[in-house]
Protein backbone atom coordinates (compact mmCIF):
# COMPACT_ATOMS: atom_id res chain seq x y z
CA UNK A 1 0.00 0.00 0.00
CA UNK A 2 1.19 3.47 -0.78
CA UNK A 3 1.14 6.76 1.04
CA UNK A 4 -2.04 7.85 -0.74
CA UNK A 5 -3.91 4.81 0.61
CA UNK A 6 -2.68 5.50 4.14
CA UNK A 7 -3.54 9.18 3.86
CA UNK A 8 -7.07 8.35 2.68
CA UNK A 9 -7.52 5.86 5.52
CA UNK A 10 -6.44 8.43 8.12
CA UNK A 11 -8.72 11.02 6.47
CA UNK A 12 -11.66 8.61 6.82
CA UNK A 13 -10.80 8.11 10.48
CA UNK A 14 -10.77 11.88 11.07
CA UNK A 15 -14.16 12.23 9.36
CA UNK A 16 -15.56 9.48 11.60
CA UNK A 17 -14.15 11.18 14.69
CA UNK A 18 -15.80 14.47 13.66
CA UNK A 19 -19.14 12.70 13.09
CA UNK A 20 -19.12 11.62 16.76
CA UNK A 21 -18.74 15.30 17.77
CA UNK A 22 -16.63 14.86 20.91
CA UNK A 23 -15.23 17.81 22.87
CA UNK A 24 -12.12 19.23 21.22
CA UNK A 25 -10.04 18.75 24.37
CA UNK A 26 -10.71 15.01 24.12
CA UNK A 27 -9.02 15.01 20.71
CA UNK A 28 -5.75 16.61 21.72
CA UNK A 29 -3.00 14.87 23.56
CA UNK A 30 -0.25 12.33 23.41
CA UNK A 31 -0.93 8.83 22.16
CA UNK A 32 -0.91 6.13 24.85
CA UNK A 33 -0.89 8.74 27.64
CA UNK A 34 -4.64 8.49 28.38
CA UNK A 35 -5.96 5.00 27.65
CA UNK A 36 -9.60 6.10 28.01
CA UNK A 37 -9.18 8.85 25.43
CA UNK A 38 -7.32 6.47 23.12
CA UNK A 39 -9.98 3.76 23.50
CA UNK A 40 -12.70 6.02 22.08
CA UNK A 41 -10.73 6.58 18.89
CA UNK A 42 -9.55 2.98 18.65
CA UNK A 43 -13.18 1.78 18.86
CA UNK A 44 -14.16 3.57 15.64
CA UNK A 45 -14.67 1.41 12.56
CA UNK A 46 -12.14 3.43 10.53
CA UNK A 47 -9.33 2.95 13.07
CA UNK A 48 -8.41 -0.62 12.07
CA UNK A 49 -8.17 0.17 8.34
CA UNK A 50 -6.13 3.32 9.09
CA UNK A 51 -3.72 1.36 11.27
CA UNK A 52 -3.40 -1.37 8.66
CA UNK A 53 -2.72 1.14 5.89
CA UNK A 54 -0.12 3.04 7.94
CA UNK A 55 1.66 -0.15 9.02
CA UNK A 56 1.92 -1.15 5.36
CA UNK A 57 3.79 2.00 4.39
CA UNK A 58 7.24 1.30 3.02
CA UNK A 59 9.78 0.90 5.85
CA UNK A 60 7.20 1.59 8.59
CA UNK A 61 7.91 -1.56 10.60
CA UNK A 62 11.66 -1.15 10.15
CA UNK A 63 11.57 2.41 11.45
CA UNK A 64 8.90 2.22 14.16
CA UNK A 65 8.48 -1.47 14.95
CA UNK A 66 5.60 -3.87 14.37
CA UNK A 67 3.61 -2.66 17.39
CA UNK A 68 3.69 1.07 16.61
CA UNK A 69 0.56 1.25 14.46
CA UNK A 70 -1.83 2.23 17.26
CA UNK A 71 0.50 4.88 18.63
CA UNK A 72 1.24 6.46 15.27
CA UNK A 73 -2.39 6.61 14.10
CA UNK A 74 -3.57 7.97 17.45
CA UNK A 75 -0.87 10.64 17.29
CA UNK A 76 -1.93 11.57 13.75
CA UNK A 77 -5.43 12.20 15.11
CA UNK A 78 -4.21 14.20 18.11
CA UNK A 79 -1.81 16.26 15.99
CA UNK A 80 -4.55 17.06 13.48
CA UNK A 81 -6.95 18.28 16.16
CA UNK A 82 -4.14 20.31 17.70
CA UNK A 83 -4.07 22.31 14.45
CA UNK A 84 -7.77 23.13 14.18
CA UNK A 85 -9.89 25.28 16.47
CA UNK A 86 -13.07 23.19 16.40
CA UNK A 87 -14.22 19.61 15.86
CA UNK A 88 -14.36 19.69 12.08
CA UNK A 89 -12.58 18.19 9.13
CA UNK A 90 -10.51 20.69 7.13
CA UNK A 91 -8.71 19.23 4.13
CA UNK A 92 -6.24 22.14 4.01
CA UNK A 93 -5.16 21.47 7.61
CA UNK A 94 -4.98 17.74 6.92
CA UNK A 95 -2.77 18.41 3.92
CA UNK A 96 -0.45 20.50 6.05
CA UNK A 97 -1.73 24.00 5.32
CA UNK A 98 -1.67 26.72 7.92
pLDDT tens for the chain, 98 residues: list them: 578 999 999 999 999 999 999 999 999 999 999 999 999 999 999 999 999 999 999 999 999 999 999 999 999 999 999 999 999 999 998 987 55
Distance between CA 69 and CA 88 in Å, rounded?
24
pLDDT value for 3: 87
Q: Is 47 exposed, middle or buried (0-12, 13-18, 19+ CB in 10 A)?
A: buried
Most distant CA pair in the chain, distance: 35
Whole-model pTM?
A: 0.92
Amino acid sequence: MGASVAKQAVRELLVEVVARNPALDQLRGIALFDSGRDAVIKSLSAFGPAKHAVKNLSNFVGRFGPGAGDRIVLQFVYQYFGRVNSVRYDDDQFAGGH
